[in-house]
Amino acid sequence: MANTAVSTALAAAVFAGGCFWCVEAVFEELDGVQDAVSGYAGGSAETANYEAVCSGTTGHAESVKILYDPKKITFRKLLEVHFATHDPTSLNRQGNDVGTQYRSAIYTTTESQAKIADASKRAYQAALTRAHRGTISTEIAEAPEFYYAEEYHQQYLAKNPKGYCGLGGCGVNYDPVTTG
């Protein structure tokens, strides 16, 4: 971004919910999201690449770093989209994608985001419980180091419209207005 004044008004958060191709494509469509970038986060290795992450040895999740304008879209709305577009009750799996790199996670960049994420998770869990669904396995933590994925992963579904996407929500809605 060439305009520094614009970039200082943006907020960031990192979401993991299965294949980063799908997560990135979902968030890129939202008004107020300035950028969605595929990468790796949440592991113990000091570096990450696709092969290492897929081997399960780094502990990283396929993640998407979101830069958004909080005047156009709230963090609460991003959480609502995150929970609606994947199955947060499925531990280390989304669709046919299986492994710790496909876990559900919300990595926050501020204390306010952490509180809102926790309240949103509790509200969605209440809705899932009423619908006789499982327990949310979504990890919520302070945003760790984010490693950008290889260039061929960036905007993958935009470049390959018939590419695989294993995301699918639970079909259970909740009221994000009640989430702290």
Which DSSP category does 95 fall into? T
Residue with the larger pLDDT of the pair 166 and 28: 28
66-83 pLDDT per residue, tens = 999 999 999 999 999 999
46-69 pLDDT tens trace = 999 999 999 999 999 999 999 999
pLDDT of 177 = 54
Q: Is 21 a residue whose pLDDT tops 70?
A: yes
The CA distance from 11 to 135, in Å, is 29
| pLDDT attached to residue 7 | 47
Answer whether 58's CB lies under 8 Å from 42's CB: no
* Residues carrying an active site annotation: 19
Does the pLDDT value for residue 6 go beyond 70?
A: no
d(CA 14, CA 37): 9
Map out the domains of the chain with their CATH numbers: 10-154 (3.30.1060.10)
**pLDDT grade for 1, boundaries at 50, 70 and 90:** very low
Q: How confident is the model at residue 165 (pLDDT cuts 50, 70, 90)?
A: confident
Q: Does residue 12 contact residue 37 with C-beta atoms inside 8 Å?
A: no
Q: How far apart are CA 100 and CA 26, in angstroms?
A: 21
Give one DSSP letter per residue of 38-69, joined into a string.
EEEES-SSSS--HHHHHHTSS--EEEEEEEE-
